[in-house]
Chain A
Amino acid sequence: MKILTTSFLTCAVKACKSSPLSFPLHYKDAELEQSDIAYNPRFLINILPRIDWDAVRVTATELGFTVPEEKPELPALDASSSTDTIEPADEKTLRELHTLLLETEVREGKLVCGNCGHEYKIKEGIANFLLPSHLGEFELFPFCFLH
């Protein structure tokens, strides 16, 4: 599970969607792994505006990283301009974002909802988002008291 994906995940329980406590999900007992993904500056430039940086900071802190307080700024890049025109300072930022968001992965652990307390297990990098029936049934009272 990449930090990028974590920053877009929310609790699957319907009643949690409206609660600010349900995002970001919180890591528990996380085991990390560094993976190798092709550097993709255009992707980062496309996705960064949609990333909730405060959520990334929460996640990064839980995993033991420090990241800047402010979301880094990146140059706009249209389809015609080449990635060769990226300034060295921006290139450095992009490489760091690449390592943090795409190459840092959680192999084992749990993601916990701050609202209902449900734990989404992660095994071999796959997060289990199947809702047990007790959460479906108690949609109006989403407390994970059965776990």
Chain B
Amino acid sequence: MSRPEETLPPDLFYSDAESRKYTTSSRILSIQSSMTHRALELLNLNTPSLILDVGCGSGLSGEILSSIPPSEGGPHIWIGMDISASMLDIALQRDVEGDLLLADIGQGVPLRPGSIDAAISISAIQWLCSADSSDVSPVGRLGRFFGGLYAALRRGGRAVCQFYPKNDEQRSMICNAAIKAGFGAGVLEDEPGTKNAKLYLVLTVSGGDVPKGDITGVVNGMEGVDIMDQRRGGKAGGRAADDRKGSKRWILKKKEPMERKGKVVKASSKYTGRKRRIAF
């Protein structure tokens, strides 16, 4: 099966027919819903928040954000961005509560600095790695996106992006763009080595209640999470971890503070090899 990103630009691929098919598939509904819940768990919001849904599509994640009960810190208010008018049209028909913007995330994020508490993105950002109708390179588009997202988040804010990189190269291209924009970054993989493997890029903005430039505080205490220095090998780090099927693997860490200290940071051994929580 070829990857949709390689067939057409996103606004053409997600046509009326494809968007309807996407939003009526019970398999897709259930997978997108479980990934949204997992991302929310990683965002760890304890009060109703303003959330940007990047590549919100027909609003599947948004509906979940609107329905989080007060006992779990919700409901959240959200703004969705998507490049496909057909996907947004289905979101309208589904009567979602969030505000929708027809927008290309590769052009940036048209929000004031420090506006949002958090951002979520499910199965969307790998699209930025493929050529599209604009003449800006994937690296340029990733830079605009992460730069815009970084600015739009409040200090201490957090973003979680589940994505499907085509290969290691795309994965590092995406992660490096996030780090370059200023984020503290880590990658969490659920069910590694299986056909259900899911990658989550967890991004933090320092300031507020997050220690400066440090993702360790964020992931400490999270299950199945490891932090590694990414200098070795350059390619998204975690080379060694890749061999240990089923073991923990946090991969990236913001570069500069690490390099200044010049040492490899690893999570304490109590997290090693613990059974991963399966989010379905």
Residue of B nearest to A121 (CB): B102
Q: Does B50 contact A (CB under 8 A)?
A: yes
Given A126-B92, A136-B107 in contact, is the A8-B115 Cβ separation under 8 Å? yes
* B41-49, B176-184, B187-195 - interface stretch: B41-49
Cβ of B115 and Cβ of A79 under 8 Å apart? no
Cβ of A50 and Cβ of B114 under 8 Å apart? yes
Contact of B83 among A50, A127, A130, A136 (CB under 8 A): A130
Q: Does B99 contact A (CB under 8 A)?
A: yes
Which residues of B lie under 8 Å from residue A130 when comparing CB positions? 83, 102-104, 107
Cβ of A46 and Cβ of B49 under 8 Å apart? yes
Which residues of B lie under 8 Å from residue A79 when comparing CB positions? 46-47, 73
Q: Does B108 contact A (CB under 8 A)?
A: yes
Q: Does B75 contact A (CB under 8 A)?
A: yes
Cβ of B102 and Cβ of A47 under 8 Å apart? no
| Interface residues on chain B, number (Cβ under 8 Å) | 34
Cβ of B107 and Cβ of A131 under 8 Å apart? yes
* A36-44, A66-74, A88-96 - interface stretch: A36-44
Which residues of A lie under 8 Å from residue B110 when comparing CB positions? 9-12, 129
Cα A4 to Cα B100 with chains together (Å): 13
Given A10-B111, A130-B83 in contact, is the A5-B47 Cβ separation under 8 Å? no
Interface 0/1 of B69-93, CB less than 8 Å to A: 0100101110101010000100010
**Which of chain B's residues 109-134 have a Cβ closer than 8 Å to chain A?**
110-112, 114-117, 134
